[in-house]
Amino acid sequence: ERSKLKRLLTMRGATLDGETVSLQANIELPGDVAQVREVDADGVGLFRTEFLFMNRDVLPNEDEQFEAYRSVAKAMGGKPVTIRTLDIGSDKALNSGGPRVETNPALGLRAIRYSLSEPQMFLTQLRALLRASAYGKVQILVPMLAHAHEIDATLTALAVAKAQLRTEKVKFDENVLVGGMIEVPAAALSLGVFVKRLDFLSIGTNDLIQYTLAIDRTDEAVAHLYDPLHPAVLRLISQTIQVGTKAGLSVSVCGEMAGDAHFTRLLIGMGLRTFSMHPSQILEVKQEVLRADSAELGSKVAKILRQDEPERISEAVGKL
């Protein structure tokens, strides 16, 4: 079985009817890139930078961050490297958490909200990301957006970082792409705001499911209610893919759903063409891609999306 998967390594990700599917990898630290190269992923779809900041007392300065981002950009040799700005808070806390106690950390000052509340820290990260963009195809991804003004404030901070680097004559990619995570239902229900301001979208199904179903993704007591196939979840994912793609943006899924081969055919049928997952899952998902007919799946999935009954949905997904 392992050797069969190995043969898949050299094959390009495409469906039977010739649709190219990009299979990218999620990483947490620069060292993970070795495994990404082993499976010949089409890029890094999600670099969770918070892992550079966690479990230490002094946060990484601009140079340390720059080295980390640059090493991944260089190692990927021109393939896209999507680096997410700090997604701290909730299940991923800093040592220097401070005295604030949150009753609902998943609904609190996390991710982009936290970055915008710490402008100096955010500017440092944006400068490091921009500097790394001179060494590969770096793209910047912003977590947990819900409001138009959060995107605007992020783009303003990025413009400040760019202006500083220009003045300092430090090189960076002037056209670096900026994308947003769609992981709050409000974002999936107001996509016009996002497609107008951003270059690409990435659906974070882990949080999108958590927030849509009001299920704490880390709470074992409600884990049985955490359902990726809930009709509300499927509709939000599907709409995001449709609206984003129609507006000319690339749309990926980088949550756990993208790496679960049971969902590959469903997501292709929804129109998804970019998946990002743990590198160990790429070959299994590629196997599903290679035996998929995207047109046929498209019409089958359209019917599933009209279903409300959970039993019907899971049965139909199983039969895809």
Nearer to ligand PEP, 15 or 85 (CB): 85
Cβ proximity of 108 and 90 under 8 Å: yes
Nearer to ligand PEP, 27 or 292 (CB): 27
- Rg, C-alpha atoms of the chain: 19
Most distant pair of Cα atoms in the chain: their distance? 60
What's the min distance (Å) between Cβ of 212 and ligand PEP? 12
Cβ atoms within 10 Å of 117's Cβ, excluding its own? 10
Applying CB under 6 A, does 110 fall inside the site for ligand PEP?
no
What's the min distance (Å) between Cβ of 258 and ligand PEP? 9
What's the min distance (Å) between Cβ of 312 and ligand PEP? 26
Q: Binder to ligand PEP among 254, 267, 283, 292 (CB under 6 A)?
A: 254
Cβ atoms within 10 Å of 103's Cβ, excluding its own? 6
What's the min distance (Å) between Cβ of 106 and ligand PEP? 10
Residue with tokens 């700090």: 86
DSSP state of 108: S
CA pseudo-torsion sign 99, 100, 102, 105? negative
What's the min distance (Å) between Cβ of 210 and ligand PEP? 8
Contacts of 56 (CB under 8 A, 6+ apart): 95
Nearer to ligand PEP, 204 or 244 (CB): 204
Applying CB under 5 A, does 204 fall inside the site for Mg ion?
yes
CA 228 to mean position of chain CA atoms: 16
| Residue 254 binds: one of Mg ion, ligand PEP, none (C-beta under 5 to 8 A by kind) | ligand PEP
253 beta partners: 203, 275
> x/- string (CB under 6 A) for ligand PEP, residues 187-226?
-----------------xxxx-------------------
62-101 positions binding ligand PEP, by CB under 6 A: 87
26 beta partners: 46
* Interacting residues toward ligand PEP by CB under 6 A: 46, 48, 87, 183, 204-207, 254-255
